[in-house]
Amino acid sequence: MTQLLPTPAPLDDLRAACTGAVLGPDEPGLAEAARAWNVRHTHRPAVVVRAETPDDVVAAVRHARRHDMEVAVQTTGHGFARATEGGLLLDLSTLVGVTVDAEARSARVLGGTTWEPVLAAASEVGLAPLLGSTPHVGAVGYTMGGGMGWLARHHGLAIDHVRSFELVTPAGEVQVASADSDPELFWALLGGGAGGLGVVTAMTIDLVPVSTVYAGNLLYPAAMAAEVVARYAEWIETVPEELTTSVVLMNFPPFPDVPEPLRGQSFVIVRGCWSGPVEEGEQWLRPWREWAEPAIDMFGPMPFSAAATISNDPVDPLPAALSTEWLTDLGPDVAGRLVDAAFAADGPPLLLFAEVRHAGGAVARGTAGAFGGREGELLLCLVAATPTDEAAAASEAHIRALRHGLADHTLGRAYLSFCDGEERRARTAEGFAPDDLTRLQQVKARVDGDEVLGCGLDLTTG
Ligand SMILES: Cc1cc2nc3c(=O)[nH]c(=O)nc-3n(C[C@H](O)[C@H](O)[C@H](O)COP(=O)(O)OP(=O)(O)OC[C@H]3O[C@@H](n4cnc5c(N)ncnc54)[C@H](O)[C@@H]3O)c2cc1C
């Protein structure tokens, strides 16, 4: 019997309607645009639209609807969830730009812009956006997940500072969502935005008056890890909200681009950012320096425009496995399990790092949107480098076993931005309080009942 292959939708009309490039099957650039930052994941679209304008987004969504295709949205691919197979991929990395209004302390950020230019433009006028540990993720994708960065305890989550979203609905219409215009959709986008509630073409956010911070890292030998984690758990009970910190169990890879003396070495790191008066920053780190001289001390005053150097996250795409839990405590049982998992006595490390971030403060007080972890004080983020399938399988099993061992010390909630791929979708319900999940599902059913935007979080009820 002759098998009938689906006829690819003609692209001429779409090309005529779009300013940006439209890439059909087998065209150069399609595979590259489809790949996620975490190179273990890739979309397999029939067509990619590199949107340059909101009209391109409208044309792409309407084309997809006409031809019964799903739409996947990707800016950087740092937060990949599910691959589209044969759908239309909207590549937003070409819809970029930022306008800062210093007087209004706000920025209008186009849908595919990373934090890098936003940070640069805001810094020029002594202001800062609420970016996270790396400026290389999409500002909108980061924000719609919650957005917890180095100013979180002082100023809250990124979702606490959004004034409005401009978007193209899954029906292909242009709309604004704000406190005054479809407030229910606005609420849902703040935390649940990766659930495919619309394609955000721009957002207007608050900027906060932060220019110089006291920030960096204190590195202690891995052998001191249990002691450092125990001290960290006590110390964070005493620090003010202007200080956002984490403790990191880090195995620096033995790669040539990792500088000596870090290359191939393991450390326990106290990391953070003081955003109060800079001259007061040193006093909050003094207990550590008085307790034990760090092997490397990189804490000091710095312009917030250099915030990327606090975590020094990798910039280039890499294969990785990641996972997360909100922890209820950092007592000896948790600390012991984390130290054992990060710094195994034998064999090469299975984790690149385990980081526990201190939340609370303005994060806990915030009320915007749907974010399931506000009550959490301790956010665990686990990352493994997975250069081969075998390494991926071993690291994933290791991470599963660690999470299982920590089960009595978790809130049962997930910060979904700290997981990706199948796990991100599968744990969607853990990302929200039950009532908020129901509310999000109702918004999803209203704005995207046909599941046109179905490649992010799973907000369906079926
Ligand atoms: C190295 C690294 C460091 C990180 N550090 C932090 C951190 O400090 N704090 C923190 O909170 N998070 C952090 N994250 C998580 C990050 O915020 C999420 O991965 C986020 O989803 C990335 O957004 P993106 O747009 O860059 O990724 P993408 O994978 O392109 O998008 C993520 C999701 O958002 C959707 N999306 C993106 N843009 C739009 C848009 N304009 N309209 C509609 N949907 C859109 C996509 O469809 C997808 O479902 C980090 C991630 C990595 C890999």
Domain ranges of the chain: 18-91, 98-209+433-447, 212-428
pLDDT at 1 (0 to 100) = 43
Ligand 1 centre from 74 Cα, in Å? 9
Q: What is the largest CA-CA distance in the chain?
A: 80
Give me Rg for the CA atoms of the chain.
22
Amino acid (1-letter code) at residue 68: D
For residues 57-75, average pLDDT: 97
Ligand 1 center–CA 138 separation, angstroms: 6
Decide: 202 in ligand 1 pocket, CB within 6 A. no
For residue 82, the CA-to-ligand 1 centroid distance in Å is 13
Percentage of the chain surpassing pLDDT 90? 93
pLDDT of residue 283: 97
* Pocket perturbation via mutation, ligand 1, pick of 37, 38, 50, 75 by most ligand atoms within 8 A of CB: 75
What distance in angstroms lies between residue 344's CA and the mean position of ligand 1's atoms? 31
CA–CA gap between residue 432 and residue 434 (Å, rounded): 6
Ligand 1 atom nearest to CA at 38: 53
Q: Is the pLDDT of residue 8 over 80?
A: no
**Domains 98-209+433-447 and 212-428 are alike in CATH topology:** no
Tokens representing 326? 């909100």
171 token code pair:
């029906």
Tell me the Ramachandran region of residue 216: left when phi exceeds 0, alpha when psi lies from -120 to 50, beta otherwise. left
Q: What is the mean pLDDT of the chain?
A: 95
CATH of domain 98-209+433-447: 3.30.465.10
Pairing of strands 266-274, 212-221: antiparallel
The closest residue, in CA terms, to atom 52 on ligand 1 is: 78
Instruction: Tell whether ligand 1 has an atom less than 6 A from the beta carbon of residue 454.
Output: no
What is the SS3 assignment for the chain?
CCCCCCCCCCCHHHHHHCCCCEECCCCCCHHHHHECCECCCECECCEEEECCCHHHHHHHHHHHHHCCCCEEEECCCCCCCCCCECCEEEECCCCCCEEEECCCCEEEEECCCEHHHHHHHHHCCCCECCCCCCCCCEHHHHHHHCCCCCCHHHHCCHHHHEEEEEEECCCCCEEEEECCCCHHHHHHHHHHHHHCCCEEEEEEEECECCCEEEEEEEEEEHHHHHHHHHHHHHHCCCCCCCEEEEEEEEECCCCCCCCCCCCCCEEEEEEEEECCCHHHHHHHHHHHHHHCCCCEECCEEEEHHHCHHHHCCCCCCECEEEEEEEECCCCHHHHHHHHHHHCCCCCCCCCCEEEEEECCCHHHHCCCCCCCCCCCCEEEEEEEECCCHHHHHHHHHHHHHHHHHCHHHECCCCCHHHCCCHHHHHCHHHHCCHHHHHHHHHHHHHHCCCCCCCCCCCCCCC
CATH architecture of 212-428: 3-Layer(aba) Sandwich (3.40)
Q: Whose CA is nearest to atom 5 of ligand 1?
A: 133
How much distance in Å is there from the Cα of 142 to the middle of ligand 1?
Answer: 4
Cα-based distances in Å from 402 to 268, 343, 388, 418, 420: 18, 13, 21, 16, 18
Q: Whose CA is nearest to atom 53 of ligand 1?
A: 78
* Ligand 1 site, residue 132, Cβ cutoff 6 A: yes
Strand partners, 221: 267
Q: Which residue's CA lies nearest to atom 47 of ligand 1?
A: 73
Tell me, rounded to whole angstroms, the distance of Cα 409 from its chain centroid.
23
Give the torsion through C-alpha atoms of 132, 135, 139, 141, to 10 deg: -70
Atom of ligand 1 nearest to the CA of 132: 8
pLDDT number for residue 344: 81
Ligand 1 pocket, 368 CB below 6 A?
Answer: no
Cα–Cα distance, 312 to 258 (Å, whole number): 11
Q: What is the pLDDT of residues 133-148, one digit of tens each?
A: 999 999 999 999 999 9
The CA distance from 354 to 444, in Å, is 34
Å from CA of 420 to ligand 1 middle? 10
**Residue 124: pLDDT above 90?**
yes
Residue nearest to atom 17 of ligand 1 (CA): 142
Asked if residue 303 has a cis previous peptide bond (ω within 30° of 0), the answer is no
Domain at 18-91, CATH class: alpha beta
Nearest residue to 305 via CA among 115, 161, 119, 80: 119
Q: Is 299 in the pocket of ligand 1 (CB under 6 A)?
A: no
Cβ(54) to ligand 1 under 6 A?
Answer: no
Q: How far apart are CA 309 and CA 302, in angstroms?
A: 10
What pLDDT does 255 receive?
85
What digits encode the pLDDT tens for the residues 233-283?
999 999 999 999 999 999 999 888 888 899 999 999 999 999 999 999 999
Inform me whether the pLDDT recorded for 217 exceeds 90.
Answer: yes
Task: State which ligand 1 atom lies nearest to the alpha carbon of 144.
Answer: 34
Mean pLDDT of 151-173: 98
pLDDT tens digits, 313-350: 999 999 999 999 999 999 999 999 999 999 987 778 99
pLDDT digits (tens, 9 = 90+) for 344-382: 877 789 999 999 999 999 999 999 999 999 999 999 999
Q: Is residue 133 lining ligand 1, measured as CB closer than 6 Å?
A: yes
